Structure 1
Amino acid sequence: MNFKQRSFFAVSTCVALTLFSSPMLPARAATADAGASGTALSKEELKAQKKADRQARRAKKNAELSTLEKNGYNPAGNQTNYPQNLQNAQQKAAGQKPTNAPAVAP
């Protein structure tokens, strides 16, 4: 892999981790608080709660991705303009006019 490919991979990995891990943090904190409270949950109840949290996170992620795809973003498509095409889709979803400026000046 050349330098451009490695840097693209590193940036896209960081963005993906940020987007997909931040919604999980409050849910994990709520689970920890529930376990720390005075009520003791059975193993089955805790498992069911974790499953429900996981399904809710997945549904939220899929809804966000669906919204971006409806506004022109294709995660499996050509990624040569990766940050800009994602930002344009986010701006369209927010009801703003997308900017077509390059993300990084050459």
Structure 2
Amino acid sequence: MKRSELIVRVISASVSLCLISIPVSSVHAADEQAAAASAATSKQAQKAQRKTDRKAQRAKNNAELSELEKNGYKPAGNQTDYPQNLQNAQRKADAKKQGASAP
């Protein structure tokens, strides 16, 4: 009887382990799918953030160039006095900012 009792216990333990592992493996697969979806969403969010940052930087650069052009800098003009023309325009822009911020 001991042998048959042992066989019954081994079989019941095997069946129990099989039944327990089925839901765990399906939950694990669901977790992997969720992680993959999260990674894709995260990647998309990072890409969108980089695009937003590039657009903001481009807008800032265009605003600075526009301000310099208003103060006399001509990027397509004569470049013989290039650094001096740019520096003069920058000084004028800085002076206007200082004048506007001073009460």
For the residues of structure 1 that align with 2:95 and 2:50, how far apart are their CA atoms?
34
| Local SS of the residue matching 1:95 | helix
Note the alpha carbon deviations across 1:36-63, whole angstroms, 9 max, x for none.
xxxx761110010000000010001000
Task: Give the gaps of 5 or more residues in structure 2.
Answer: 1-38, 97-103
Larger radius of gyration, structure 1 or 2? Answer: 2
Task: Give the gaps of 5 or more residues in structure 1.
Answer: 1-39, 97-106
The runs of at least 4 consecutive aligned structure 1 residues that moved more than 2 Å come to none
How many residue pairs get aligned? The number is 57
Alignment of 1:72 onto 2:64: no
Alignment RMSD (CA, Å) = 1.6
1:81 Cα deviation from its structure 2 partner? 0.4
Amino acid at match of 1:84: Q
For the residues of structure 2 that align with 1:66 and 1:76, how far apart are their CA atoms?
13
Paired position in structure 2 for 1:89: 89
Q: Report matched runs for 1:1-106 at 5 Å.
A: 42-95=42-95
For the residues of structure 1 that align with 2:82 and 2:44, how far apart are their CA atoms?
43
| Local SS of the residue matching 1:72 | coil
* Percent sequence identity over aligned pairs: 72
